[in-house]
A and B are shown apart, each in its own frame.
Chain A
Amino acid sequence: MTATDLSMPPPAVAAPGDPGKPTRRGGFRGWRLLGYAALVLAAVGLLLPFYWMVVASLKTNNDVFTIPITWLPDPVVWRNYLDIWQRSDMTTWLRNTLLLSVVVTFLQVLTGSFAAYGFARVRFPGRNMLFLAYVGTIAVPWQSYMIPQFILMSKLQLSNTLWSIVALQAFGAFGVFLMKQFYETVPEELSESARVDGLSEFGIYRRIMLPLSRPALASLALLTFVTTWNDYLGPLIYLRSPELRTVQLGLNTFISQYNAEYALIMTGSVLSVLPVAVIFLLGQRHFIEGIATTGLKG
């Protein structure tokens, strides 16, 4: 797993000098050193579960829990990574999850950015009321309307199909917020001059806004992809047939089936986390910007 490759603490030599010196400068260095100590400690605490996950997946089952604890797999067992494909439907799960994540991401980016343009740049009566309905849903947890939503989905014949998850995730308000925040930072003059040149609203969206908003679109796409990939509750409620299982759902059934196969369970976990880890590490700038943008306004 990629995250643990980075688990080396930040260079401890960064703050040399004597922290105990009672001078002003020495005191400052002491604080710096304390800062580093806190950073390293927090990093260890944050990464330890991931380290355990990877190490346990490389052990034989009997070696996972030992006294004293072995922090390095000895010998390194790669077998688990071969066995898991035979002993579970991992291939089906990954395929379903990938399919869902791609379709949902595509729809969310498309409809979200489209609607956001309407909210950010077109003035028409009732717009603010409409947006308030979107904002209001922040305060309404999904858990509180999952029952009527399930009834509706069943009436629409969508439950126990992959479409239910698409419907569930693709029209979220989050994409609208994120893109609206971004569009509002684009100077109005740009679209003004385009309007003078005779471009329609759709033309402005297509030719000016979309190319400009590439970083925001990337943020939205990555966050949506990861959310859909990781979703557990939606598939739990809607996907009953084994062949429809996503990786999260499959992993959990696998655990209840082989609850004493600690090493193999960890192998499955690593495989379920790996794609997200890679995507996150490659696009972390976009993740962080996306989160910061939606958080800034409040």
Chain B
Amino acid sequence: MATLPRTRPRNRRLVWRNTVAGWSFILPNFIGFAVLTLLPVAVLFYVAFTSWNVFGVAEWTGTANFQRMWGDASFWTALRNTVYYTAFHIPLTLAAALGLALLLNRKLRGVRFFRTVAFFPYVTSIVAIAIVWNQLFSPEYGPINALLRAVGVDDPPGWTTSSTWSMPAVIIVGTWRYMGYYMLLFLAGLQTIPAQLYEAAQTDGASAWQRFVHVTIPGLRHTTFFVTVLLTIESFKVFDLILLMTGGGPGQSTLVLSQYIYQKGFEENQFGYASAVSIVLFAICFGITVIQFMVNKRGNS
């Protein structure tokens, strides 16, 4: 601080003045943040234990919502599908993003143009993306199956019209959309690795692969950690893409947790039960993030 206080009263006054200044800076944003984010999260843990319906009549029902969830086959389907999406979306996006970032980090022409292209799906609205991909995936006349037939696949998949292939279709679009975003994070990470490390490795006679394993991968540790955390949450909360592409179908083949919350809450007005399912989603995302932070911390020490 500029004026180092020598006496205690002045010190206390400084702390007081800083507290007022600090809060007045933070307050405009904090009021909105508290009312619209912190408060709802707190309320969530109350509503989930009630039978809150559209009339706003809340009756405390204890763990009834959770007991019902335990026996709810649709809930388990939604959870299973969410895990299915996550299990493929994370590694695929991670690999594609890292691959693209490594490619762009080389001195090739057109790299700047490509960076723009790769980021473009991320800034495009999900509605437009879902419509276009549904046309591309059209089983009979769509270009994707035309391409597959051209390379000799006689019986190409039905994509969003088939309960087996609808999830892969959604995963492909999800990866296509987000890889450019994570690529940017990896690129930023790659640029923090000092070039001397590569030069040193090269003079030691390390091959390209060895340089990748011993310089690039350790250098990207922090970025990879951050990307994985973001990707995990993003995968578990997947919603709008699926709602627009398949609506959860055919049947329940792409029903995910977020959509199930939406159905129960906003379509069937069972706010209490929907909140109980929300708590599961909350617990998964929060729990996994905490575990990831702990693992990362252990790795650091």
Whether both chains belong to one complex is answered with yes
Which of B122-130, B159-167, B210-218 participates in binding chain A? B122-130
Given A6-B116, A69-B146, A119-B26: A141 touches B40 (CB 8 Å cut-off): no
Q: Is the CB of A147 within 8 A of B275?
A: yes
What is the interface residue range for chain A against chain B? 35 or more
Chain B residues 261-291 with CB under 8 Å of chain A are 261-262, 265-266, 271, 274-275, 278-279, 281-282, 285-286, 289-290
| B68 close to A (CB within 8 Å) | no
| A122 close to B (CB within 8 Å) | yes
Task: Give the CA-CA distance A298 to B185 in the complex, in Å.
Answer: 10
Shortest Cβ distance from residue B40 to the other chain A in the assembled complex, whole angstroms: 4
Chain B residues 25-63 with CB under 8 Å of chain A are 25-33, 35-41, 43-44, 47, 52, 56
Contact partners of A168 in chain B: CB under 8 A: 36
| B100 close to A (CB within 8 Å) | yes
Chain A residues 277-298 with CB under 8 Å of chain B are 277, 280-281, 284, 287-288, 291-292, 295-298
Shortest Cβ distance from residue B78 to the other chain A in the assembled complex, whole angstroms: 12
| A72 close to B (CB within 8 Å) | no
Q: List 19 A-B contacts (CB under 8 A).
A: A38-B103, A42-B114, A49-B136, A118-B21, A118-B26, A124-B21, A124-B23, A139-B289, A141-B282, A143-B258, A146-B40, A149-B37, A230-B123, A232-B127, A232-B244, A251-B128, A280-B120, A280-B123, A295-B188
Report which A residues bind B (CB closer than 8 A): 3, 6, 9-11, 14, 32, 35-36, 38-39, 42-43, 45-50, 52-53, 56, 64-69, 110-112, 114-115, 117-119, 122-127, 130, 133-134, 137-152, 167-168, 170-173, 175-176, 192, 195-196, 200-202, 205, 226, 229-230, 232-233, 237, 247-248, 251-252, 255, 262, 265-266, 269-270, 272-273, 276-277, 280-281, 284, 287-288, 291-292, 295-298
| Pairs of residues from A and B, 3 with the lowest C-beta to C-beta distance, nearest first | A10-B110, A171-B32, A118-B25
